[in-house]
């Protein structure tokens, strides 16, 4: 039966339909069941389960290519399933199963529940389509199509506060348009848009521009700098489930998938060049900026959003090295980040539902009320900071080793990023497990529903985090390495003792610093998040809090200035039409009127001049 299913999936356009059209149909089904609690949740589980089964079917089917018969000019509908895409497909489907169940519990009962699930499933169809596409233009179709669903979800329940949705649309729209230009340059350089026929285009001249734009497009989708600023805002405004899905999972999956393909297949990338340095520096800036911002946050969801941004910096760092270890690291890192960050957002949703807030100072001591969530949080946090035993340790190790091979500066800066991330998590951890009694008294407790549906995905993700550390060799070498065609022996504990020691030292230092500082009055941060920052950083901090460094605000200011110039030009042109030309005509008329004195001689002069003029025009034309 399994063989028959695999055979069915690998035939013709069956897999395209199963992975792109069927999820949309499931979305409509969810919309229909939006008012039936049991059916809504069962349908979410069953549909996402079927999607996972289909993805496994494709994984087993091997390399399959299909072209749909109805292709538009320049948009040949070519699709292909092979090692790397099927690996991503299965991972997406597995995460989506948890996300769908969690979302069904999280949003059920809300006015927008049906529409939310429709958008969610449509997004899954887009992600699947982008992973399966074997044509750059078709890939962009699915890739950019997610803008609609992303904006739609952000607007749900926020129609009176649409700023975040517009910000997301603008920032993601810019990155997608840059990607469009990059894809076009790439396909023109390769003389084909078929991805499987493109191989190692030289990243020089126009190719360098194309390469840079592809990377920027992928960075934008994954929520990396400088396209990141909508993510923390979404953490405040959007439904909590949204954060787990888009910045947490889908965006990262697509971004990493395309970066990997760009570096390994499409372009002949070399880390020694300017491009390599730029990517790695961008990665490091993202890591440190994101972690520093996370440290400053007072809200748990915003903190996790910045952690998500920061973590993507590691992906760029690994990608920038262009080394096999780096590529293995970013694939492994992407899997671990998606698991951990999705898990963190699920926990923040659970906390929000329980306490009515995710503000750190108001949830102190929640670990005692929600022990499972607290344990899951600890697992995710330790995995992200690369604490040994958890899966994140191995991905961080691979990336940092590759960075060290490229330049020791990158390695040290990467460690600094991990240190800041650890500090941020420890701050929240203190709130979870510590706090004082007075603060506990201010909690606004609410009836907490959907415990199982929300807790179960978080627990499964936490187990996955731990398991991927314990059986790391299996995951890094056998599943990721072979699936992506990177036949290496990089997983496991051999050669991991020194990195493990470094990681533990970093964590211990962060813990010590946190304890030391919290004992000093007026220190960097207390558990409430109401920091008294160092005087020299306070100005910068105020500017940051006012959004002065937000790329979106800078962009809007520039566009506003540019628009003022355009408006002035426009007024100038209108003045010519509305005032200058009519005025000149009127003046000419008055002159002619004065010239017309009623004498025959004047009429004759006018008639002769006019006739000569007409003849001149005809002569010019006919000559």
Partner 1 sequence: MGAWILIAGILIPLLGALLLPFIGKMNVKARNAAALILVASAFAGALCALPGALSGNPLSVRFEIPLGLSFGFTGDALAVFMAMTASFVSFIIVVYSLGYIKHYENQNEYYMIVCVFIGAMMGLVYSTNLIAIYTFWEISSLCCWRLIGFYRDEISVRKANKAFIVTVLGALIMLVGFMGIYGQTGTFELAAMKGVHIPSWTVVLILFGILSKSATFPLHSWLPDAGVAPSPVTSLLHAAVLVKIGVYAYARLFVITFRTDDSFTTIVPIIAAVSALISAGAAFRENDIKRVVAYSTISQLAFILLGLSCGNETGLVGGLLYILAHSVAKGGLFLCAGIVEHTLHTKDIRKMGGLAKTMPVTAVAFAMCALSVMGIPPFSGFFAKHLVIEGIVESGNIALAAVFIAGAVMTVMYLARLFIKVFLGPQTFPDVREGTPVMTASVLALGITALLLGLFIFLPSELASLVWGLI
Residues lying near partner 1 in the complex (CB under 8 A) are found at 70-75, 137, 140-142, 144-145, 147-148, 155, 159-160, 162-163, 166, 169-170, 173-174, 177-178, 180-181, 184-185, 187-188, 206, 209, 559-560, 562-567, 569-570, 573-574, 576-578, 617, 621-623
**Shortest distance, position 67 Cβ to partner 1, whole Å:** 13
Residues 487 and 514: their CA atoms lie apart, in Å, by 41
Residues 6+ apart with CB under 8 A from 518: 430, 525, 526, 527
**Shortest distance, position 236 Cβ to partner 1, whole Å:** 17
Q: Are the C-beta atoms of residues 65 and 134 closer than 8 Å to each other?
A: yes
Closest CA to 246 of 131, 345, 111: 345
| Residue 158: strand, helix, or coil | coil
Nearer to partner 1, 68 or 513 (CB): 68
Residue 491 token pair: 């997983």
Q: What are the two backbone dihedrals, phi and then psi, of residue 66, each rounded to the nearest 5 degrees?
A: -145, 145
| Residue 10: strand, helix, or coil | coil
Nearer to partner 1, 169 or 256 (CB): 169
Nearer to partner 1, 184 or 474 (CB): 184
Residue 161 token pair: 């506060």
Nearer to partner 1, 25 or 515 (CB): 25
Half-sphere exposure of 623 (CA within 13 A, CB side): 6
DSSP states along 490-523: --SSTT-HHHHHHHHHHHHHHHHHHHHHHHSTT-
Residues 6+ apart with CB under 8 A from 385: 392, 418, 421, 422, 425, 503, 506, 507
Closest CA to 317 of 325, 326, 308: 326
**Shortest distance, position 567 Cβ to partner 1, whole Å:** 5
Nearer to partner 1, 7 or 564 (CB): 564
Nearer to partner 1, 165 or 309 (CB): 165
Residue 14: count other Cβ atoms within 10 Å of its Cβ: 18
**Shortest distance, position 553 Cβ to partner 1, whole Å:** 13
**Shortest distance, position 140 Cβ to partner 1, whole Å:** 7
Residues 336 and 312: their CA atoms lie apart, in Å, by 11
Nearer to partner 1, 497 or 588 (CB): 588
Closest CA to 58 of 84, 78, 76: 84
**Shortest distance, position 84 Cβ to partner 1, whole Å:** 23
**Shortest distance, position 470 Cβ to partner 1, whole Å:** 42
**Shortest distance, position 477 Cβ to partner 1, whole Å:** 38
**Shortest distance, position 277 Cβ to partner 1, whole Å:** 23
Q: To 10 degrees, the CA torsion angle through 408, 412, 413, 417?
A: 150
Nearer to partner 1, 70 or 487 (CB): 70
Residue 150: count other Cβ atoms within 10 Å of its Cβ: 26
**Shortest distance, position 565 Cβ to partner 1, whole Å:** 7
DSSP states along 358-403: -BGGGSTTHHHH-HHHHHHHHHHHHHHTT-TTSHHHHHHHHHHHHH
Closest CA to 182 of 143, 154, 124: 143
**Shortest distance, position 564 Cβ to partner 1, whole Å:** 7
Nearer to partner 1, 560 or 598 (CB): 560
Tell me how far the alpha carbon of residue 6 is from its chain's centroid.
Answer: 32
**Shortest distance, position 538 Cβ to partner 1, whole Å:** 33
Cis peptide leading into 257, omega within 30 of 0?
no
**Shortest distance, position 154 Cβ to partner 1, whole Å:** 11
Nearer to partner 1, 559 or 609 (CB): 559
Q: To 10 degrees, the CA torsion angle through 519, 521, 524, 528?
A: 80
Question: Is 205 buried (19+), middle (13-18) or exposed (0-12) by CB count in 10 A?
Answer: exposed
Nearer to partner 1, 42 or 206 (CB): 206
Nearer to partner 1, 42 or 555 (CB): 555
Nearer to partner 1, 176 or 477 (CB): 176
Question: Is 266 buried (19+), middle (13-18) or exposed (0-12) by CB count in 10 A?
Answer: buried
**Shortest distance, position 160 Cβ to partner 1, whole Å:** 6
Nearer to partner 1, 516 or 562 (CB): 562
**Shortest distance, position 609 Cβ to partner 1, whole Å:** 19
Residues 460 and 55: their CA atoms lie apart, in Å, by 19
Owner of token pair 């055979």: 7
| Residue 198: strand, helix, or coil | coil
Nearer to partner 1, 296 or 552 (CB): 552
Residues 253 and 221: their CA atoms lie apart, in Å, by 9
| Residue 5: strand, helix, or coil | helix
Please give the radius of gyration of the chain, using alpha carbons only, rounded to the nearest integer. Answer: 29
Nearer to partner 1, 216 or 327 (CB): 216
Residues 225 and 248: their CA atoms lie apart, in Å, by 15
Q: Are the C-beta atoms of residues 380 and 370 closer than 8 Å to each other?
A: no
**Shortest distance, position 207 Cβ to partner 1, whole Å:** 11
């Amino acid at each position: 039966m399994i063989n028959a299913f695999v055979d069915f999936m690998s035939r013709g356009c069956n897999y395209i339909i199963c992975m792109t059209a069927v999820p949309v149909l499931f979305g409509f089904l969810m919309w229909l069941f939006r008012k039936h609690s049991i059916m809504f949740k069962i349908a979410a589980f069953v549909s996402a389960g079927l999607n996972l089964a289909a993805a496994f079917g494709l994984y087993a089917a091997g390399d399959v290519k299909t072209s749909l018969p109805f292709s538009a000019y320049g948009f040949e509908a070519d699709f292909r399933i092979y090692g790397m895409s099927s690996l991503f497909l299965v991972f997406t489907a597995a995460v989506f199963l948890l996300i769908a169940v969690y979302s069904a519990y999280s949003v059920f009962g809300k006015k927008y529940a049906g529409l939310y699930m429709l958008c969610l499933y449509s997004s899954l169809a887009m992600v699947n389509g982008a992973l399966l596409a074997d044509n750059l233009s078709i890939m962009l179709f699915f890739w950019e199509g997610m803008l609609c669903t992303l904006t739609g979800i952000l607007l749900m329940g926020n129609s009176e506060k649409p700023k975040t949705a517009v910000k997301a649309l603008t920032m993601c729209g810019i990155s997608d348009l840059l990607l469009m230009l990059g894809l076009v340059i790439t396909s023109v350089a390769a003389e084909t848009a078929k991805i499987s026929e493109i191989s190692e285009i030289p990243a020089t001249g126009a190719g360098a521009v194309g390469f840079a734009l592809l990377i920027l497009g992928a960075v934008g989708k994954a929520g990396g700098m400088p396209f990141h600023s909508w993510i923390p805002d979404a953490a405040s405004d959007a439904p909590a489930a949204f954060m787990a899905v888009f910045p947490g999972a889908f965006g990262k999956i697509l971004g990493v998938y395309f970066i990997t393909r760009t570096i390994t297949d499409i372009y002949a990338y070399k880390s020694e060049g300017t491009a390599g340095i730029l990517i790695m520096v961008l990665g490091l800036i993202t890591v440190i900026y994101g972690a520093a911002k996370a440290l400053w946050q007072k809200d748990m969801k915003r903190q996790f959003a910045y952690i998500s941004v920061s973590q993507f910096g590691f992906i760029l760092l690994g990608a920038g090295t262009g080394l096999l270890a780096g590529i293995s690291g970013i694939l492994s890192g992407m899997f671990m980040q998606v698991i951990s960050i999705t898990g963190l957002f699920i926990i923040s949703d659970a906390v929000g539902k329980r306490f009515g807030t995710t503000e750190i100072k108001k949830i102190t001591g929640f670990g005692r009320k929600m022990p499972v969530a607290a344990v899951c949080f600890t697992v995710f946090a330790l995995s992200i900071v690369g604490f040994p035993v958890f899966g994140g340790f191995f991905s961080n190790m691979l990336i940092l080793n590759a960075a060290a091979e490229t330049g020791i500066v990158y390695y040290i800066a990467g460690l600094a990023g991990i240190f800041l991330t650890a500090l941020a998590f420890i701050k929240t951890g203190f709130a979870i497990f510590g706090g004082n009694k007075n603060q506990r008294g201010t909690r606004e407790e609410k009836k907490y529903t959907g415990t199982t549906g929300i807790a179960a995905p978080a627990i499964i993700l936490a187990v996955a985090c731990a398991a991927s550390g314990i059986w790391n060799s299996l995951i890094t070498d056998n599943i990721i390495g072979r699936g992506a065609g990177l036949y290496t022996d990089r997983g496991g504990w051999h050669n991991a003792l020194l990195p493990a020691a470094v990681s533990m030292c970093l964590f211990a230092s962060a813990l010590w610093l946190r304890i030391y500082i919290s004992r000093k009055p007026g220190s960097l941060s207390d558990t409430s998040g109401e920091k008294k920052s160092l005087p020299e950083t306070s100005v910068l901090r105020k500017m940051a809090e006012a959004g002065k460094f937000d790329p979106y605000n800078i962009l809007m200011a520039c566009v506003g200035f540019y628009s003022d110039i355009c408006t002035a030009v426009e007024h100038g042109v209108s003045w010519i039409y509305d005032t200058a030309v009519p005025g000149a005509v009127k003046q000419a008329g008055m002159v002619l009127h004065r010239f017309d004195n009623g004498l025959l001689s004047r009429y004759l002069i006018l008639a002769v001049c006019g006739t000569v003029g007409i003849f001149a025009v005809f002569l010019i034309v006919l000559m």
